[in-house]
Chains A and B, each alone.
Chain A
Amino acid sequence: QKEVEQNSGPLSVPEGAIASLNCTYSDRGSQSFFWYRQYSGKSPELIMFIYSNGDKEDGRFTAQLNKASQYVSLLIRDSQPSDSATYLCALEPQAGTALIFGKGTTLSVSS
């Protein structure tokens, strides 16, 4: 059973702070990892994906992957109230297959 684990939160940070979201997974063979943001009542939207060990930066977002530790994280710098949402970690067990999602971490950014 391939599993993706996330702390459900809520994670509360003040505006301008760094929010750190974490995810662990059980399938050591998984190659690609994704972070999605989901607002209440809406469909997930892709923030970024990562498939190599290390860091990947895109604007205020940085994804970090450590395959040896089976750990992937998302850092959000200069958090804004509009970043308040549920963040879903997902992995792709094999290329072309469906994604497996974690339960998500709820982030609340206070102004």
Chain B
Amino acid sequence: GAVVSQHPSWVICKSGTSVKIECRSLDFQATTMFWYRQFPKQSLMLMATSNEGSKATYEQGVEKDKFLINHASLTLSTLTVTSAHPEDSSFYICSARAGRTYEQYFGPGTRLTVT
């Protein structure tokens, strides 16, 4: 089956610093990647939709200048959390879709803790 990887799997950073999270589709070309965020005991909330070669589409309430998304190739999308604050601590999960198929393939997630 299709595999999506994320790196790092967990990261601790200090308040005010920036963190980059990578999402890679390992054995397929992902025309679309999605970034979700999940707080404890909450569901996955879509942050943005990223199409290769174009600007990401952000959901209402998500600051595009704070959460920078780059989808430079068909196998890689990155999410950079700029000037991170403790309230940004969350579980960040990406998913990738190869064309308009039914299934999204989820990455293993990245646990971000901002101290």
Contacts and interface: CB of A to CB of B under 8 A. Distances in A.
B101 to A, nearest CB: 8
B42 A103 contact: yes
**Chain B interface bracket (under 10, 10 to 19, 20 to 34, 35 or more):** 20 to 34
Contacts of B32: 96
A46 interface: yes
A32 to B, nearest CB: 6
A99 interface: yes
A44 B42 contact: no
B102 A43 contact: no
A32 B102 contact: yes
B50 to A, nearest CB: 10
A68 interface: no
Contacts of B109: 42-43
A100 interface: yes
A45 B42 contact: no
Contact of A45 (B97, B102, B106): B106
Interface of A: 32, 41-46, 49, 51, 88, 92, 95-104
30 contacts: A32-B102, A42-B108, A42-B109, A43-B93, A43-B107, A44-B44, A45-B106, A46-B103, A49-B102, A49-B103, A51-B102, A88-B43, A88-B44, A92-B102, A95-B100, A96-B32, A96-B99, A96-B100, A97-B49, A98-B34, A98-B46, A98-B49, A98-B104, A99-B34, A99-B46, A99-B104, A101-B44, A101-B45, A102-B43, A104-B43
